[in-house]
Amino acid sequence: MYKYTDFDRQFVHQRAAQYRDQLERNLSGQLSDDDFRPLRLQNGWYVQRYAPMLRVAVPYGELASRQLRVLARIAREFDQPSAQVYETATTTQAALGTLHLPTGYGHFTTRHNVQFNWIPLDKSADVMELLASVDMHGIQTSGNCIRNITSDALAGVAVDEDIDPRPYCEIMRQWSTLHPEFAFLPRKFKIAVSGAREDRAATAWHDIGLHLLRNADGQIGFKVQVGGGMGRTPVIASTIRSFLPWNEILNFLEAVVRVYNRWGRRDNMYKARIKILVKAEGQRFIDEVEAEYQDILTHDGAPHTIPQSELDRISASFRPPALVQQTQAAIHQIAPDLSDKDANDYQRWLKQNVAPHKDPDLRAVTLSFKRLGQAPGDASADQLDAAADLADRFSAGEVRVTHQQNLLLPWVRADQLPALWQAARQAGLAKANIGLLTDMIACPGGDLCALANARSIPVAAAITERFQDLDELFDLGQIDLHISGCMNSCGHHHSGHIGILGVDKDGREWYQVSLGGSDGSTLSGAAVPGKVIGPSFAASEVTDVIEALLDTYRLQRLAGERFIATVRRLGLDPFRQAANQVRSETGNTGKELHIHLATADALTD
Amino acid sequence: MQNTLKLIASNAYSTGATGLNVINLANDADPRTLALAGVDRIELNFPKFTDGRAFSQAFLLRRRLGFKGEIHATGDVLIDQLLQMQRSGFDAAVLRADQDIKQAQRQLDRFSGFYQGDAQRAPLFAAATGVSASVKNTEGVAA
């Protein structure tokens, strides 16, 4: 993974010092809350429903064990609210039905970041310094700027990968970090990069989605897609360049973002993302980007053309770890001495949580953070430490935060799989559900987030509880279940095979269910938003609805047919009918249904 | 980093007749449409400090168009954006009335360098590979 230079290290320390000065001016009354807000946001500090939330950047998902241990320390020592804050939060949420709010933990997001929910703001500068001590920060994890750049959790190890995206991601990270011109854009700006045949980074759903590829002459470049996004108006990105030479990517990004900075709408927050501009202007947008790009090349002298020497310098950080290279060539799958049940569990884990690797002696192993008793993607301080230990023992000290809110060990020797399985199981991280229904994506929702209309965590918990039987989960096969607590779509409900969106109406939580969404993977098909199956459901109905949808699939599927394929073949009707059968609350009065339909329309304009 | 930004307290800024040829450019205007000959100063306005359009305008004026006169930031100008202004090509900033000019200077001294190129400098990687770190066509940046 990328090794910080002295410059990089000094830079994050200087950033932490700058933040401390801003915080102190705010706490002493010299910097108003309004003026401080964008500054703290660009360091990852939100103020949420009950307490601040910190979003720590994990560039393209790569974390070292020493960084994980500092995240564990932050969870343990800092993610602790005052008695008063906690009392207010638990009392208020109890009225909604949330019986317990955990503290002292981190949360993995779909964009590889790690969030903390309870750190008092007056300790925020201490946390930034602690992060800087292990080459970490919260720079541009929020605010209307270029956000953390995301990629494929299997970058550099995937068997279907042609070009490792990580060096390019790092070059783009550096270019976008504290860019003076682009810190106050009309709205947030997200870039994702993939270098494999399979798109595991949902690139078409990003403001800019990049695919590394080779042209007919074997030269490396990018396919550039612009204008994807979720939110109220889900849009799939348009391809505006089928091949851009790799060394011109920063100049081209500069052109796109400059055109967006000029023309992106600032009068309406809901129309401010670049997707709206691309949709409204179409070819005119593309023409203006191309003209600006030409001006950057000819008039400005193409200042950000990346020298080969710079790519080489950065790429040197991403060579496979030396430890791993010493692996002996011949490794046999050692069958551990296990009881029948354990042997069965182990085989399932191998099938579901272990992925092949570029190096035939190695495997990529996902630790599941989707289990009963904890919200999807949540990790306690002890679990973060345990993951760090596993990384040190089995994966050259490296983990990846995945888009699906798990951790992945990228450098596991095949002969160590049995030992890893045992150790991961002891740590409670070996649930063999990766890619299955309960490996769901969910945002923190209304228990924590100030934007949420409804809670996500109880919905996720109820579904997890209902579908605990691994036999059943295996039989249901690969299903993307995505849950968002509001239209901001942090839980990516638009791209779920099954999407659940929380809405509120008359002071109550309701859930809109959609079907057939895709993140753009081979299994799911071209990226597309799911279709809402009808009026919103009451919270009490959601788990039954999910079961009804799955029962319909089980009854109607062809041999070997996946859930998403059955949905595409049959259309929404049989699923809608099945879901309506379980409307125990909303089915009683036609009037109530009508109200919810109107709500759904209003929110999906 | 070398400080080139002149800080002007709000009450010290004269908007009256200066004898200079001054253009006050709206922040949705395209600076490439301006006739720059004989222009001494261009004022770029921040209606809100979170509206970043004037950063692009300043960059285009300084870097693309090679404007040699003064570029002043006016409007909602806060000390925490001064560094960005300097790097985008501004050479003076008229602070919002409530801003403390004594606190301002050290906001410009925080970083020993930056990654990307700007209106003043080439990218760090260009410097690292032996290319001159100074940008040739920005000699017009006023001290």
In this structure, are residues A513 and A544 in contact, taking their beta carbons and an 8 Å threshold? no
- Mean pLDDT within A433-449: 96
Tell me the two tokens of residue A435: 């890619």
Domain assignment present for B16: yes
pLDDT tens digits, one per residue of A521-535: 999 999 999 999 999
What is the chain B residue with the closest CA to A18?
Answer: B110
Phi/psi at B134 (nearest 5 deg)? -90, 145
Query: Residue B63 and residue B56: Cα distance in Å, rounded?
Result: 10
Q: What is the pLDDT of residue B143?
A: 32
Range of lowest pLDDT (A188-192, A354-358, A584-588): A584-588
Query: Residue A321 and residue B7: Cα distance in Å, rounded?
Result: 50
Quote the percentage of chain A above a pLDDT of 90.
91
Residue B133: band (very low, low, confident or very high) from pLDDT cuts 50, 70, 90: very low
Contact B135 A299 (CB under 8 A): no
Domain assignment present for B1: no
Domain assignment present for B71: yes
- Say if B15 is an interface residue toward chain A (CB within 8 Å): no
Q: What is the pLDDT of residue B131?
A: 43
- Mean pLDDT within A366-388: 97
pLDDT tens digits, one per residue of A36-65: 999 999 999 998 889 999 999 999 999 999
Query: Residue A392 and residue A69: Cα distance in Å, rounded?
Result: 11
Contact A178 B64 (CB under 8 A): no
Edge to edge, what strands does the sheet with A208-214 contain?
A191-194, A208-214, A220-226, A238-245
Q: What is the pLDDT of residue A338?
A: 84
Half-sphere exposure of A440 (CA within 13 A, CB side): 34
- Mean pLDDT within A5-15: 98
Task: Answer whether residue A386 shows pLDDT above 90.
Answer: yes
Domain of B10 in residue numbering reads as 6-138
Task: Answer whether residue B54 shows pLDDT above 50.
Answer: yes
> Which of A9, A34, A35, A42 has the highest number of chain B CBs within 10 A, making it the mutation to test binding with B?
A35
Contact A310 B128 (CB under 8 A): yes
Q: What is the pLDDT of residue A324?
A: 56
In this structure, are residues A457 and A486 in contact, taking their beta carbons and an 8 Å threshold? no
> Which of B4, B5, B48, B56 has the highest number of chain A CBs within 10 A, making it the mutation to test binding with A?
B56
Task: Answer whether residue A583 shows pLDDT above 90.
Answer: yes
Nearest to B116 among A185, A304, A307 (CB): A304
- Say if B126 is an interface residue toward chain A (CB within 8 Å): yes
Q: How far is CA B130 from the centre of its chain?
A: 27
Question: A508-515 and A208-214: which strand pairing?
Answer: unpaired
- Mean pLDDT within B134-141: 39
Question: A508-515 and A537-538: which strand pairing?
Answer: antiparallel
pLDDT tens digits, one per residue of B71-90: 999 999 999 999 999 999 99
Contact B115 A180 (CB under 8 A): no
- Say if B6 is an interface residue toward chain A (CB within 8 Å): no
Query: Residue B122 and residue A204: Cα distance in Å, rounded?
Result: 32
- Mean pLDDT within A359-387: 97
Give chain B positions within 8 Å (CB) of A22.
Answer: 80
**Number of Cβ pairs < 8 A linking chain A and chain B:** 103
Does the model's pTM come out above 0.90? yes
Nearest to B116 among A11, A179, A266 (CB): A179
In this structure, are residues B141 and B120 in contact, taking their beta carbons and an 8 Å threshold? yes
Range of lowest pLDDT (A266-280, A310-324, A390-404, A413-427): A310-324
Q: What is the pLDDT of residue A88?
A: 95
Give chain A positions within 8 Å (CB) of B106.
Answer: 21
- Say if A197 is an interface residue toward chain B (CB within 8 Å): no
In this structure, are residues A411 and A321 in contact, taking their beta carbons and an 8 Å threshold? yes
Q: How close does chain B come to A295, measured CA to CA in Å?
A: 8
Torsion sign, CA atoms A366, A372, A376, A377? negative
Domain assignment present for B28: yes
pLDDT tens digits, one per residue of A130-154: 999 999 999 999 999 999 999 999 9
- Say if B75 is an interface residue toward chain A (CB within 8 Å): no
Give chain A positions within 8 Å (CB) of B113.
Answer: 7, 11
Of residues B15 and A188, more confidence is placed in A188
Task: Answer whether residue A449 shows pLDDT above 60.
Answer: yes
SS3 A222: strand
Residues of chain A numbered 134-163 and touching chain B (CB < 8 Å): 144
Task: Answer whether residue A600 shows pLDDT above 50.
Answer: no
- Our CA dihedral for A561, A566, A569, A570, rounded to 10 degrees, sits at 140
Task: Answer whether residue A589 shows pLDDT above 90.
Answer: no
In this structure, are residues A517 and A493 in contact, taking their beta carbons and an 8 Å threshold? yes
Q: What is the pLDDT of residue A335?
A: 60
Give chain A positions within 8 Å (CB) of B116.
Answer: 174-177, 179-180, 250, 304
pLDDT tens digits, one per residue of A548-558: 999 999 999 99
Question: CB-based burial of residue B1 (10 Å sphere; 0-12 exposed, 13-18 middle, 19+ buried)?
Answer: middle
In this structure, are residues A163 and A155 in contact, taking their beta carbons and an 8 Å threshold? no
Q: What is the pLDDT of residue A337?
A: 78
Question: Which residue is associated with the tokens 């199956």?
Answer: A533
Task: Answer whether residue A327 shows pLDDT above 60.
Answer: no
Query: Residue A587 and residue A594: Cα distance in Å, rounded?
Result: 11
Instruction: Work out how many domains chain B is built from and give that number.
Output: 1
pLDDT tens digits, one per residue of A288-307: 999 999 999 999 999 999 99
What is the chain B residue with the closest CA to A305?
Answer: B126
Q: What is the pLDDT of residue B129?
A: 52
Buried b or exposed e, range A152-178, using 16+ CB within 10 angstroms = bbbbbbbeebebbbbbbbbbbbbbbbb
Domain assignment present for B47: yes
pLDDT tens digits, one per residue of B38-48: 999 999 999 99
Q: What is the pLDDT of residue A185?
A: 98
Tell me the two tokens of residue A314: 């950065």
Q: What is the pLDDT of residue B11?
A: 87
In this structure, are residues A249 and A241 in contact, taking their beta carbons and an 8 Å threshold? no
Give chain A positions within 8 Å (CB) of B99.
Answer: none
Q: Tell me which residue of A345, A349, A377, A343 sits closest to A363, measured CA to CA.
A: A349
Q: What is the pLDDT of residue B128?
A: 62
Task: Answer whether residue A6 shows pLDDT above 60.
Answer: yes
Nearest to B88 among A144, A180, A266 (CB): A180
Cα three-residue angle A405-A407-A410, rounded to 5 degrees = 135
Question: B22-25 and B41-46: which strand pairing?
Answer: parallel
Could you tell me where the beta strands, DSSP code E, fall in chain B?
6-8, 22-25, 41-46, 70-75, 92-94
**Which structural domains are found in chain A, ordered by start?**
6-132 (3.90.480), 166-313 (3.30.413.10), 334-426 (3.90.480.20), 441-603 (3.30.413.10)
What is the chain A residue with the closest CA to B83?
Answer: A180
Q: What is the pLDDT of residue A588?
A: 61
Residue A373: band (very low, low, confident or very high) from pLDDT cuts 50, 70, 90: very high
- Mean pLDDT within A489-503: 97
Question: CB-based burial of residue B16 (10 Å sphere; 0-12 exposed, 13-18 middle, 19+ buried)?
Answer: exposed
- Mean pLDDT within A447-456: 92
Residue A595: band (very low, low, confident or very high) from pLDDT cuts 50, 70, 90: very low
End-to-end CA distance of chain B: 13
Q: So what's the ipTM on this one?
A: 0.93
Task: Answer whether residue B140 shows pLDDT above 60.
Answer: no
Q: Beta partners for B19?
A: none
- Mean pLDDT within A201-211: 98
Range of lowest pLDDT (A36-40, A210-214, A341-345): A341-345
- Mean pLDDT within B130-141: 41
Residue B14: band (very low, low, confident or very high) from pLDDT cuts 50, 70, 90: confident
Tell me the two tokens of residue A62: 């790569």
DSSP A124: H
Average pLDDT of every residue of chain A: 94
- Mean pLDDT within B78-104: 96
Task: Answer whether residue A317 shows pLDDT above 80.
Answer: yes
Domain assignment present for B38: yes
Which positions ≥6 away from A80 have C-beta within 8 Å? A103, A104, A118, A119
Domain assignment present for B143: no
- Mean pLDDT within A244-266: 98
